[in-house]
Amino acid sequence: MTTDHNEIYAGDPNIFAELGLPDADSQFLKAQIVAELYRLTQDAKMTQARAGARMGISQPEVSRLFKGNFREYSVERLIGFLTSFDQDVEIVAKPRTRDGTRGTITFRPVDA
């Protein structure tokens, strides 16, 4: 009997970057916003139709969004969806603490 030895390592939290996909930072931010929209919808026990009415999109669009098909939506539009759920969105720019590296975008929802 042989045993395969697989190497395990901690990957990048941004799966889009880990996979080497274009616009990884933007796609990761969109995914985080959509996850928060999904959480808000679930917490309110809201149907997709009702969530769509609130966001100004159809139920099939909500379904596609929650299944991860959000490439067609801009970050700005997704932020607008958050505000339709009575969420305040705060954008903070601050100096990078590490030298020589590019700045990052971080999304932190406030616990409900």
Tell which wins on pLDDT, 95 or 43: 43
Grade residue 59 by pLDDT with cuts at 50, 70 and 90. Answer: very high
Terminal C-alpha separation, the chain: 52
- Sorted by sequence, the CB contacts under 8 Å of residue 14 that are 6+ apart come out as 24, 25, 28
Structure tokens at 78: 């997704």
Report the alpha-carbon angle 34-37-41, nearest 5.
140
CA-closest candidate to residue 33, choices 75, 63, 67:
75
Task: Spell out the domain ranges in the chain.
Answer: 15-84
pTM of the predicted model as reported, rounded to 2 decimal places = 0.82
CATH number given to 15-84: 1.10.260.40
pLDDT in tens, 8-51: 878 778 888 888 888 989 999 999 999 999 999 999 999 999 99
* 3-class SS of residue 97: coil
